[in-house]
Amino acid sequence: MEGNFKILPEDLISESIGFLKHAITLLSHNHHDVENLIRYSKNFTNFSSASIDASTSTIVTLEEIEQQLLKMESFRKSAKYAVTSIMQTLLNYIEMNDVFEGKPNMKRGYYKNIVDKSILLKNYIVTVHPRVKINYIEESLSRFIITLMQLLISTDARPISNIYIFSTITDILLVFKEVRFLHNVILKALLKNLQVCEVNLQSFSATSMFELAFYEKLMCNLTILKELLLYSVEQHELYKTNNYDLNVKVMANVNAVLKSIYMVAPEYIKRFLQECLNLINE
């Protein structure tokens, strides 16, 4: 998933979004009314609602729905296309538009669009993917997160980081932190984000309003980092867990960045930084 992304027609994006929303609806409850199931099923090619006997049962179990979807090659292909098209659209959106250089209202709109689509992807992965697993999606989503972080950071070359970029990166990490197979990717993205933060803290002299917003987002990053480290420590596998794929060098880099930020951070942030440092060195 590199640069020069192909532009996708808007109607295809709308269909992809609609598909994922319906898939989430199908698998987000313990049981379903047959009429609603048949109505939602029309969005999936070759979904056999005829196999559901409405005359003998008014409720369809989650297991029955899962079995239906698992049999459907059309569902797997459609899910792969929908997820890929939304990821590609987000990358297009950032690469081909001066996303964070417009008026404040435009910035908020761009920002919301990116985060909203990220939330939809996360909801699909959390709700549907564990039940109707499509291996390609895990690899593709991991590459997407890495590319998205790189694109967002590369859009801002100024000495003082644009708060909208920092906010967007932070919120996307918050969205995906509960997707377990992405923990290692997110931790590496957090390291990059904290490195950007370190440079800014060493160089900027800004208004108190900017500092408050900046420190709020720094705290969000530290919160995600702490949660991931806590999980790893609880598993007693800080340097060898498959969920993080961390080595000594990566942890040394995280440790060094946190110590550098600690030197210039306010007292209330220092306490949180120390908690993260303690977890790393347990």
pLDDT tens track for 25-70: 777 766 566 666 666 555 555 444 445 554 545 556 777 777 777 7
Same domain, 142 and 276: no
Same domain, 110 and 78: yes
| Res 270: pLDDT | 92
Same domain, 75 and 173: no
Same domain, 205 and 149: no
Q: What is the mean pLDDT of the chain?
A: 74
Question: What confidence tens digit (pLDDT) does each residue in 164-214 have?
Answer: 777 778 788 888 877 877 777 788 888 888 887 887 776 655 545 566 767
| Res 158: pLDDT | 55
Same domain, 61 and 147: yes
Which of 26-40, 141-155, 170-184, 225-239 is predicted with the least confidence, judged by mean pLDDT?
26-40
Same domain, 122 and 169: no
Choose the final residue of a domain: 155, 184, 204.
Answer: 155
| Res 5: pLDDT | 44
Which of 113-127, 193-207, 257-271 is predicted with the least confidence, judged by mean pLDDT?
193-207
| Res 274: pLDDT | 94
Total of domains in the chain: 2
Nearest alpha carbon to residue 125 among 42, 47, 186: 186
* pLDDT of 87 above 80: yes
More confident residue, 102 or 244: 102
| Res 39: pLDDT | 62
Residue position matching structure tokens 């640069």: 3
Q: What percent of the chain has pLDDT over 90?
A: 6
Range of the domain at 261: 160-282
Mean pLDDT of 113-125: 87
Do 174 and 233 touch, CB atoms closer than 8 A?
Answer: no
Do 211 and 168 touch, CB atoms closer than 8 A?
Answer: no
Same domain, 39 and 143: yes
Same domain, 148 and 246: no
Choose the final residue of a domain: 105, 130, 155.
Answer: 155
| Res 1: pLDDT | 44
Q: What sign for the dihedral angle of Cα 14, 15, 18, 19?
A: negative
* pLDDT of 251 above 70: yes
More confident residue, 134 or 34: 134
Same domain, 148 and 167: no
More confident residue, 195 or 235: 195
Output DSSP code: residue 44.
S
**pLDDT band with cut points at 50, 70 and 90 for residue 258:** very high
Choose the final residue of a domain: 121, 137, 155.
Answer: 155
* pLDDT of 162 above 50: yes
Same domain, 150 and 165: no
162: alpha, beta or left? (left if phi > 0; alpha if psi -120 to 50): beta
Strands (E), the chain: 31-33, 59-61
Question: What confidence tens digit (pLDDT) does each residue in 13-28 have?
Answer: 788 888 888 888 777 7
**pLDDT band with cut points at 50, 70 and 90 for residue 8:** low
Same domain, 125 and 192: no
Mean pLDDT of 96-113: 67
CB contact set of 229 (below 8 Å; sequence gap of 6+): 238, 276, 279, 280
Q: What percent of the chain has pLDDT over 70?
A: 67
**pLDDT band with cut points at 50, 70 and 90 for residue 257:** very high
